[in-house]
Amino acid sequence: MEFKDNIPIYLQIKQYLYRQIITGKLKPGKKIPSVRELAVQLTVNVNTVQRALQQMNFEGILYTKRGEGNFVTEDTTLLEKTKRELINAELDKFVHSMNSLGVSDEQILKSLSEYLKEEHSDD
């Protein structure tokens, strides 16, 4: 895992963990690695991991069992919402980048459906 150095790393750690959860690598109700394990695995500062986990606890996507560590929520509504937010964030980036190329929303829709059709015919 490579981190960009001009974006706060705790945000990137959160993004990384969201993805792990959405893709099922970290499962609902299951314990996630300890703060230190994550820090070593991602080669980042322990305090930074701590900050990311604190925020995710606050958001409810993780919960803490005293003395046991952090667990992924089993709240399916919240998990669905997190997934939607992740998708929206990606769409946001994509649309923004297309707009900055001078492509209108209508053209994006048209280009995208043409692109997907071509991609599928390739398969």
Partner 1 sequence: MTNPLEITDLVYKKNQKKIITDLNLTLKPGKIVALLGENGAGKTTLMRIISGVAKNYRGSVKVAGFTKEADRKGHLSFTDGLTGFANSTKINDIVKFYQILYHDFNLKQFEQLRDFMNLKPDLRLSELSKGMKEKLVIALTFSRRVDLYLLDEPFSGIDAMARKKIIKSIILWKQEKSTILISDHFVNEITAVLDEVVIIKNKTVCMQKSTEAIRADNQSVEEFYESFYQREEEE
Binding site for partner 1 (CB under 8 A): 3-10, 36, 39-40, 42-48, 51
Bridge partners (DSSP) of residue 63 are: 71
Comparing CB distances to partner 1, the nearer of 6 and 100 is 6
Residue 45 CB, nearest approach to partner 1 (Å) = 5
The CA distance from 119 to 52, in Å, is 37
Nearest residue (CB) to partner 1, 40 versus 95 = 40
| Nearest approach, Cβ of residue 7 and partner 1 (Å) | 6
Question: Min. distance of Cβ 34 from partner 1 in angstroms?
Answer: 12
Q: Which helix (H) or strand (E) holds 25?
A: none
* Least distance between partner 1 and beta carbon 4 (Å): 8
The C-alpha atoms of residue 80 and residue 91 are separated, in whole angstroms, by 16
In the complex with partner 1, which residue's Cβ is closer, 42 or 72? Answer: 42
What's CA 94's distance to the chain center, in Å? 16
Q: Which of 31, 28, 51 is nearest to 39 (CA)?
A: 51
